[in-house]
């Protein structure tokens, strides 16, 4: 029987519409769920909505709605977003559902029967927006330490949970299970919180009605966190479906944001201990996003709407950015320029370009049919070994939820495969008529792409599926599993590839608009004036032009132009895209590896809509010859 894997997101409040923070937790959980399914697990992935409580009751009132009407409306926004984001949850739980009411009441009863819930009187500070009780000590200037808003002093009859009795047991559990709370910095925070001593917790309210009634005393509703946390049991049949429950409980991972760690790593485990249920295996708290360096807030008007980002940049682009940009567990910053940078460089230049050129070459040199691998030699084996290493490191990182590290390893393989193509130069092998080597090289880079596409799948499922289509392996189910990466060569020879549309079109930025072709007139006349009237320029003037040795890494024709070629040129510190008018004199393939002279400090220009970030020097009128060097020169060497 398949091993099970149960992962949850927090259930989201329905008094707010979804933003990037909600999208983040859910995408991360989806990545993990997809990864585990790929690894053959029986996965249960849960998300949902947290609908009860005073906050929702208030928000509904302000909107002229009943709480359930408000919840119904907002839940649609969440479900719609998950669909748009390709979230593969197995269930969506709403705390207003009957199935959940039963579980929450059952848990309450069990703990009460055990003697760990008692009726008392409650007097404490309460922060309504945060749904949090605070001690006098926790207040900062008599305000909530988190949201800085005013707090209320509440005095009411309340049921209490005897949390104070569980501090030692919880501490022991945390210490004996180093993975229980992750990352480590967060774990230490919780340890010191528990060591300070746990107070009994008020777990019912009489001051509002929108909640689950306490069994046998409907003057009280169950406190929203006791209600909400129980959702994790409801969805897997807690107290109702023994078989499902024993299959999936305890949960493998509760994925949450750092702000709600205490509820998950202190309250929740103590409730479970009281009920005699096993504790979740891990609570993982990720960091928070700021936006362009600022805290995200409605009052600043900088809340990032995931719907909008997806419409503008694409769903997989957004998913990739969220997972790649920051170390999972730490805080991160969202900015448009960082997102565009990732799309253009990682996705466009590295991945998109690799797929595109690989398929073009498979079509050109192998009639679009994956050849047999033939006899790999040392230089092929280097890539094979690199792929093996990447797969191992990828898996290791994924199992630690180090998503950005996993992607780093994957991108090392992508870049290495690009380099492999540069160095093995299939166009040369073709020219030399070296059919055996050519077959082997084509097989090697296509198999590498298959492996890449599988590792990419959890992060960018729609892209991976397009890649499978283009690689012709969509129907080869056995070639699409994680275990197929354990051995090189899962791609069948004879597979017919099917080159499709470019996956990641470049995102043009505002900065790219001005060019030296549209330079303002005043600037031109000023330059003329500054130049030497005797007809020469000074040495200093000449030195203003930065010239460097560049090595051409990629070259392709610019569509609809017989003169222009689009080059990728390594200039030492970076790779530049340069559009050069040498198409009538050179075939693109013959240029790879050539050392050329590049003007590197020209303002970028747009040529037929393509950005050119420099100029390659050549001599001649019709028949052009590139300026090259007598000996071997390193990319980036200054020319003077
Ligand atoms: N309803 C509770 C959770 C109950 S779970 C039994 C709740 N809901 S929430 O809608 O306010 O937030 C849910 C998640 O969104 C949390 O994991 C929180 O960390 C995350 N985020 C909210 N803003 C965020 C950022 N700016 N950045 C990253 N995540 C953030 O809490």
The domain spans of the chain are 335-486, 529-626
Counting from 1 in the atom list of ligand 1, the atom nearest the Cα of 22 is 15
Task: Tell me which residue has its CA closest to atom 8 in ligand 1.
Answer: 12
Report which DSSP code applies to 529.
Answer: H
> Residue 51: CB within 6 Å of ligand 1?
no
Task: Tell me which residue has its CA closest to atom 13 in ligand 1.
Answer: 12
Task: Tell me which residue has its CA closest to atom 23 in ligand 1.
Answer: 21
Task: Tell me which residue has its CA closest to atom 9 in ligand 1.
Answer: 12
Q: Hey, is 314 helix, strand or coil?
A: coil
Task: Tell me which residue has its CA closest to atom 18 in ligand 1.
Answer: 257
DSSP string, 552-597: EEEEEEPTT-SS-EEEEEE-SSSEEEEEES-TTT--HHHHTT-EEE
> Residue 50: CB within 6 Å of ligand 1?
yes
> Residue 22: CB within 6 Å of ligand 1?
yes
C-alpha span between 595 and 130 (Å, rounded)? 62
Name the burial class of residue 216, with classes exposed (0-12), middle (13-18) and buried (19+) by CB atoms within 10 angstroms of its CB.
Answer: exposed
Number of CB atoms found within 10 A of residue 137's CB = 6
Domain 529-626 has CATH 2.40.50.140: yes
> Residue 24: CB within 6 Å of ligand 1?
yes
> Residue 13: CB within 6 Å of ligand 1?
yes
C-alpha span between 224 and 208 (Å, rounded)? 11
pLDDT recorded at residue 535: 53
C-alpha span between 218 and 497 (Å, rounded)? 65
Task: Give CATH for domain 335-486.
Answer: 1.10.730.10
The two structure tokens encoding residue 534: 């005797």
How far, in Å, is the centroid of ligand 1 from the Cα of 300?
Answer: 19
pLDDT recorded at residue 537: 64
C-alpha span between 640 and 638 (Å, rounded)? 6
> Residue 285: CB within 6 Å of ligand 1?
no
How far, in Å, is the centroid of ligand 1 from the Cα of 524?
Answer: 56
How far, in Å, is the centroid of ligand 1 from the Cα of 51?
Answer: 14
> Residue 25: CB within 6 Å of ligand 1?
yes
pLDDT recorded at residue 146: 86
C-alpha span between 117 and 203 (Å, rounded)? 9
Helix (H) or strand (E) holding 616, with range, is: strand 615-616
pLDDT recorded at residue 521: 37
C-alpha span between 125 and 455 (Å, rounded)? 49
How far, in Å, is the centroid of ligand 1 from the Cα of 327?
Answer: 18
> Residue 397: CB within 6 Å of ligand 1?
no
Q: Are the CB atoms for 582 and 533 separated by under 8 Å?
A: no
> Residue 227: CB within 6 Å of ligand 1?
no
Q: Which stretches of the chain drop beneath a pLDDT of 50?
A: 512-534
Report which DSSP code applies to 302.
Answer: -
How far, in Å, is the centroid of ligand 1 from the Cα of 508?
Answer: 33
Task: Tell me which residue has its CA closest to atom 16 in ligand 1.
Answer: 257
| Residue 5: HSE in the Cβ half-sphere, 13 Å Cα cutoff | 17
Task: Tell me which residue has its CA closest to atom 24 in ligand 1.
Answer: 21
Helix (H) or strand (E) holding 255, with range, is: strand 253-257
Angle at 541 between CA 539 and CA 544, to 5 degrees: 110
> Residue 296: CB within 6 Å of ligand 1?
yes
Task: Tell me which residue has its CA closest to atom 5 in ligand 1.
Answer: 10
Site to substitute for ligand 1 among 16, 17, 22, 271, most atoms within 8 A of C-beta: 22
> Residue 170: CB within 6 Å of ligand 1?
no
Task: Tell me which residue has its CA closest to atom 19 in ligand 1.
Answer: 257
How far, in Å, is the centroid of ligand 1 from the Cα of 281?
Answer: 21
How far, in Å, is the centroid of ligand 1 from the Cα of 289?
Answer: 11
Q: Are the CB atoms for 279 and 272 separated by under 8 Å?
A: yes
The two structure tokens encoding residue 538: 């000074």
* Mean pLDDT, the chain, whole residue set: 92
Number of CB atoms found within 10 A of residue 562's CB = 8
């Amino acid at each position: 029987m398949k091993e099970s894997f149960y992962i949850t997101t927090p259930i989201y409040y329905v008094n707010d519409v979804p933003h990037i923070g909600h999208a983040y937790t859910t995408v991360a959980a989806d990545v993990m769920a997809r990864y585990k399914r790929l690894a053959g697990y029986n996965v249960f992935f849960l998300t949902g909505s947290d609908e009860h409580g005073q906050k929702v009751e208030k928000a509904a009132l302000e909107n002229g709605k009943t709480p359930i009407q408000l919840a119904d409306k907002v839940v649609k926004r969440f479900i719609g977003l998950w669909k748009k984001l390709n979230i593969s949850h197995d269930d969506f739980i709403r705390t207003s559902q009957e199935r959940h009411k039963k579980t929450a009441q059952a848990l309450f009863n069990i703990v009460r029967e055990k003697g760990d819930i008692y009726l008392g009187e409650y007097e404490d500070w309460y922060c309504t927006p945060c749904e949090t009780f605070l001690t006098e000590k926790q207040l900062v200037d008599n305000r909530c330490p988190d949201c800085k808003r005013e707090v209320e002093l509440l005095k009411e009859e309340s049921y209490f949970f005897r949390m104070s009795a569980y501090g030692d047991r919880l501490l022991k559990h945390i210490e004996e299970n180093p993975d229980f709370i992750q990352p480590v910095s967060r774990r230490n925070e919780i340890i010191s919180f528990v060591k300070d001593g746990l107070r009994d917790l008020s777990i019912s309210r009489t001051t509002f009605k929108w909640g689950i009634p306490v069994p046998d005393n409907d003057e009280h509703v169950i406190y929203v966190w006791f209600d909400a946390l129980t959702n994790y049991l409801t969805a897997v049949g807690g107290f109702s479906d023994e078989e499902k429950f024993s299959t999936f409980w305890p949960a493998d991972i509760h994925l949450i944001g750092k702000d709600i760690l205490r509820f998950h790593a202190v309250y929740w485990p103590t409730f479970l201990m009281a009920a005699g249920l096993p504790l979740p295996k891990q609570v993982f708290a990720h960091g928070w996003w700021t936006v362009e360096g600022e805290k995200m807030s409605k009052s600043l008007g900088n809340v990032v709407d995931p719907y909008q980002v997806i419409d503008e940049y694409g769903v997989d682009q957004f998913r990739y950015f969220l997972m790649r940009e920051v170390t999972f567990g730490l805080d991160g910053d969202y900015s448009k320029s960082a997102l565009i940078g990732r799309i253009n460089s990682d996705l466009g230049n590295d991945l998109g370009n690799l797929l595109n050129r690989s398929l073009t070459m498979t079509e050109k040199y192998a009639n679009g049919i994956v050849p047999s691998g033939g006899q790999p030699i040392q230089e092929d084996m280097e890539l094979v070994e690199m792929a093996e290493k990447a797969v191992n490191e990828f898996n290791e990182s994924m199992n630690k939820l180090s998503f950005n590290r996993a992607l780093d390893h994957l991108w090392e393989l992508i870049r290495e495969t690009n380099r492999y193509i540069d160095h093995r130069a299939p166009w040369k092998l073709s020219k030399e008529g070296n059919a055996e080597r050519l077959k082997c090289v084509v097989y090697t880079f296509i198999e590498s792409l298959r492996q890449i596409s599988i590792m990419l799948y959890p992060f960018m499922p729609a892209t991976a599926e397009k890649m499978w289509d283009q690689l012709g392996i969509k129907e080869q189910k056995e070639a699409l599993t994680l275990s197929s990466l354990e051995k090189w060569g899962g791609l069948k020879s004879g597979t017919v590839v099917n080159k499709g549309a470019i996956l990641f079109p470049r995102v043009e930025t505002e900065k790219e608009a001005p060019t030296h072709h549209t330079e303002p007139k005043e600037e031109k006349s000023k330059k003329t004036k500054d130049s030497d009237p005797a007809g020469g320029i000074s040495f200093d003037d000449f030195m203003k032009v930065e010239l460097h040795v560049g090595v051409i890494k990629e070259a392709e024709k610019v569509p609809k132009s017989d003169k222009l070629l689009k080059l990728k040129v390594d200039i030492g510190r970076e790779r530049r895209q340069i559009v050069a008018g040498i198409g009538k004199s050179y075939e693109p393939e013959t240029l790879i590896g050539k050392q050329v002279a590049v003007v590197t400090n020209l303002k970028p220009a747009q040529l037929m809509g393509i950005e050119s970030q420099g100029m390659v020097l050549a001599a001649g009128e019709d028949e052009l010859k590139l300026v090259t060097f007598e000996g071997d020169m390193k990319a980036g060497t200054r020319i003077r």
